[in-house]
Chain A
Amino acid sequence: MTPALKLTDLSKSFPVGKRLFGAPKGIVHAVQPLSLEVDPGETLGIVGESGCGKSTLARMLVGLLAPSTGQIEIDGAPLDTADPAAFGKKIQYVFQDPISSLNPRKTIRQVMEAPLKNLHRMDARARSNRISEIFAAVNLREEFLDRYPHEFSGGQAQRIGIARALAADARILILDEPVSALDVSVQAQVLNLLADLKAEFGLTYLFISHDLAVVEAVSDRVAVLYFGSVVEVGPAKQVFSNPQHPYTKLLADSAPVVGRPLSAPEGENTELPDPLNPPTGCAFRARCVRALPQCATDVPMLEPKGPAEAVACYNPNN
């Protein structure tokens, strides 16, 4: 089966402290070369803490950022240009902050019509039919179409954001923290809506979040990102219940869970690695309880471990 989305050695580095002439002061590797495949109809969860490169990765996948190296293939066809319009028909983005992703001075109808007009060149009648269809799918009333974004609650605005992504008729959606700005009672509504839409339209999701429980609840597979690299990938039900990489275990142990006594699974003196001056070897070794001498010199590669799992560690938990 052709993967819906295939990333090969995709990486992004940013120059820091640009000068008028000569080389920049330093280079930050926001995303290290990474390869991933997402099957059609699958939800791949991506978790990681702030600064791990989640958002940079997401922006590359929709063409908002040009990758430094590597290739993105959608349904087997490579997309080389960083042109959001070329990506837009195949892959769309749902933003974290639903309100600020809507132009405050445009009505919802104008927002919804933009992809239909510019990506699909539909005429007025076809546009109006398509919008009705999508609004019915996301449970929004059509009377909302002539209102402005500030009149909506976060949950409603996020439905509109999802509706806009669907309007482009893309089969892959990048969901970048789609519920972290929402209240818990509304969060569940939106997550369930996403699940229904996926079944109805045969969508493929890349679900990015820092909330392990949410990612686990919605994903088929989960990739754990640390310092710009995938350190572990595997089926959602195993990644957190039986973590292989020490970092995944640290994440799973840190999440507050009802019924588990409070404990800090990590010492207080740990500091995140400096992106401008990355450590040699494994980026996690300074925080790792299982570090070996080898970890200081060699960078562990993502190696298959079991049928569906892969982990980048010389001394995994199991």
Chain B
Amino acid sequence: MSGFLRLLARNKLALGGLIVMSMIVLLALITPLLPLADPDVTNTADRFLPPFSEGAFLGTDHLGRDLLSRLMWGTRLSLAVGFSAAVIAATIGAAIGVIAGYYGGRTDNVIMRGVDMLMAFPYILLALAIVAALGPGLMNALIAVAAVNIPFFARNIRGITVGIAHKEFVDAAKLAGLSDAKIILTEVLPNVIPVIVIAMSTTVGWMILETAGLSFLGLGSQPPQADLGSMLGEARSALITNPHTSIVPGLMILVVVMAINLLGDGVRDALDPRLKSGALSRPMPATRVDRTGEAPPAPEDSLLALADLRTQFHVKDRVYKAVGGVDLSLKPGECLGLIGESGSGKSVTALSVMGLVASPPGVVTGGAVYLEGEDLVGAPYEVLRAIRGKRVSYIFQDPLATLHPLYKVGDQLIEAVSSHRRISRTEGRAHAIDLLKRVRIPNAESRVDSYPHEMSGGMRQRVGIAMALANDPDVIIADEPTTALDVTVQAQVLTLLDDLRRERGLAILFITHDFGVVAQLCDRVAVMYAGRIVEEGPTDAILNAPAHPYTSKLMACVPELGGGQRQLEAIPGLPPVVDKLPKGCAFAPRCHIGTEACRQGDIPLDPHGAGRRVRCLTPVTAPQSEEAAQ
């Protein structure tokens, strides 16, 4: 609750709305206790007194009734009617929506077509028809306003319910023997309530306006009872001669509705899970850099090098050290595998290279990224933009999420080129076809006009690769590009990447969690744990004789095809959370050979035989003793 208020208070307008609304509601609540004149007593001798008159602070109306008193009582009534209508509409609408969404099929069809029919009438016409049928009166106006708003809630809630009804926890509840009624009440409804609250908070204002509208037309509150709409209606004839009688209730309606809408928007923003997690702001075009100290020197003869790169996420008062000082280097034509479990920081490392980590909350706090000796950390956005996709390009895990669903793949390929150099339409199309051929897509000439949804997963990932190749980059960073694919398709995509790098001398940084893939594709491999490289070296050497206990344990966890039925070796415990890293080696609590010294201080990534480095005080294997290890 306090978190909700804090989020709400971040939106200054919503906070203002909350304060104004609280004051109005408070005044409405204590109106009967205030020393006000009776709102319904007429005194024609004192009609149309101007505001600030003796005994009538806001003046009097055409029958000489005290306007301040009528305004207070009228506001009280309008708020009560508006809120009641909102609650009634939300309850009935949500019930209809939940039932339609949960049962689906024919039930859904019948209910929703009925709702559609209700929505086909202009709302004011419908409200008038209802009031005409029931007769004028405040209660009937309330019923009309509620009825008119039911379809809005029903449609909204139905959409949400359809999503929830297909969630796995609903299936699980069915298997636990819960009846449909129980599932709706205990599984679906608690997940729908935030949406109902959001929908209500954004429509209460509208319902107050609608009630006022009906009263204005004389169909709502009946004289002498005052509400804001009827006050306006009665003042209409004196609009020119005595404008204050219209302005007083008019201003109140304006203030009430404005305050409610601002507050409603704030409530929506604070409750919406998508807006709740990230800050309510757009990410910057490049990751924020807050580097203290000098950039470490560039390693020699490497195409792409990361030197002591540190990327953190600052969320409220917590600091997540996602990347805690990573050194990597990539030569032309080389394929470097970066292996690790989820949360080890491998994707953040990859995104940090081109400043693609979302800021806020991401911040690069140290280290450097050298592309042919030029430091890219803190480089101006224009420089980064010119390099992104041109010299360093990315392939992501889910091609369906990275390709735009509404554009043909050919157009997306052309766009990837034209954002770096001018290219004519025909030339671009020829280039796109050529790219598709290069990634071995059959019938490239016709496929260039396909939309992403018309292609299979493997085809889409090839398009993703074609896009990465569009500008002849020097480096490709592939973040789990085959994890979402079936094994047969994975084998094809891996072969393609391998061919491309041999033909074109591409350097590839290949991120994965699969040792089999690393073994088949990569020259060198780096193993990452809790944001740091724990072991690095030639793939064969490491896979044959892992030196870091984590590497060896991790390899033992993975069953390999051809081993038959067996017990697997598991690593006890869980990976550490990177906002509370232990002192010393992050793996020590799970390590079977760790000593007290491992928990004391920082452990360096030391050389360990030919071309290998390991961050461990007690490596499992001695340097350059592959034969002994086997």
Contact = CB atoms under 8 A, between A and B. Distances in A.
B177 A184 contact: no
Contact of B176 (A88, A97, A259, A265): A88
Nearest to A186: B574
A23 B182 CA distance: 35
Residue of B457, B487, B574 ringed by the most chain A CB atoms within 10 A = B487
A144 interface: no
Residue of A217, A220, A240, A263 ringed by the most chain B CB atoms within 10 A = A217
B565 A217 contact: yes
Contacts of B317: none
A212 B561 CA distance: 7
Residue of A89, A254, A265 ringed by the most chain B CB atoms within 10 A = A254
A106 B165 CA distance: 16
B185 interface: no
Given A188-B569, A256-B494, A261-B520, A101 B176 contact: no
B560 A168 contact: no
Interface in A80-103: 84-85, 87-89, 92-93, 95-97, 100-103
Contacts of B488: 49, 250-251, 254, 265-266
Contacts of A12: none
Interface string B567-587: 111111011000000000000
Given A95-B171, A254-B487, A259-B519, A184 B557 contact: yes
A236 B178 CA distance: 37
B3 interface: no
Interface in A173-210: 183-189, 191-192, 195, 210
Given A217-B565, A255-B487, A185 B175 contact: no
B570 A192 contact: yes
A34 interface: no
Contacts of A217: 559, 563-566, 568
Interface string B515-540: 11101110000000000000000000
B564 A168 contact: no
Interface stretch (A114-122, A130-138, A289-297, A303-311): A114-122
Given A251-B488, A258-B515, A188 B557 contact: yes
A252 interface: yes
A141 to B, nearest CB: 13
A50 interface: yes
B495 interface: yes
A50 B486 contact: yes
Chain A contact patch, size range: 35 or more
B628 interface: no
Contact of A262 (B169, B176, B495, B568): B495
A213 B175 contact: no
Interface stretch (A1-9, A24-32, A267-275): A267-275
A115 B558 contact: no
Residue of B553, B567, B575 ringed by the most chain A CB atoms within 10 A = B567
Contact of B519 (A88, A241, A256): A256
B523 to A, nearest CB: 12
B176 A257 contact: no
B398 interface: no
Contacts of A161: 172
A240 B557 contact: no
Contacts of A186: 570, 574
B190 interface: yes
B565 A237 contact: yes
Contacts of B171: 59, 64, 84, 93, 95, 101
Residue of A155, A257, A262, A266 ringed by the most chain B CB atoms within 10 A = A262
A269 B442 CA distance: 6
Contacts of B174: 64, 84-85, 88
Residue of B178, B442, B513, B514 ringed by the most chain A CB atoms within 10 A = B178
Nearest to A256: B516
A184 B515 CA distance: 11
Nearest to B344: A183
Interface string B493-512: 01110100000000000000
Contacts of A49: 486-488
Nearest to B539: A258
B172 A101 contact: yes
Contacts, number: 205
Nearest to B187: A103
Given A185-B575, A254-B487, A93 B175 contact: yes
B568 A213 contact: no
Contacts of A258: 515-516, 519, 543, 560
Interface string B349-363: 000000000000000
B10 interface: no
B456 interface: yes
Given A50-B486, A88-B175, A257-B562, A183 B341 contact: yes
B563 A114 contact: no
A62 interface: yes
Contact of A97 (B168, B515, B516): B168
B565 A218 contact: yes
B342 interface: yes
Contacts of B341: 183-185
Contacts of B562: 216, 240-241, 257
A188 B571 contact: yes
A265 B176 CA distance: 44
A268 B447 CA distance: 15
Interface in A113-158: 114-115, 118-119, 153, 155
B491 A256 contact: yes
A264 B519 contact: no
A210 B494 CA distance: 18
B237 interface: no
Nearest to B519: A258
A263 B191 contact: no
A171 interface: no
Nearest to B193: A105
A258 B520 CA distance: 7
B554 interface: yes
B173 interface: yes
A241 B565 CA distance: 12
Contact of A219 (B172, B515, B563, B565): B565
A192 B575 CA distance: 18
Contact of B457 (A50, A59, A236, A268): A50
A194 B419 CA distance: 52
A245 interface: no
A119 B176 CA distance: 6
Contacts of B190: 103, 105-106
Nearest to B164: A103
Nearest to B495: A264
Contacts of B521: 262
A295 B517 CA distance: 34
B222 interface: no
B513 A183 contact: yes
Given A100-B167, A183-B341, A114 B173 contact: yes
A261 B520 CA distance: 6
B561 A183 contact: no
Interface string A218-231: 11100000000000
Interface string B154-186: 000000000000011101111111110010001
Given A105-B191, A262-B494, A236 B565 contact: yes
A43 B177 CA distance: 25
Contacts of A114: 173, 176-178
12 contacts: A62-B175, A64-B175, A84-B175, A84-B177, A102-B169, A103-B173, A105-B191, A183-B342, A184-B513, A185-B554, A213-B559, A256-B519
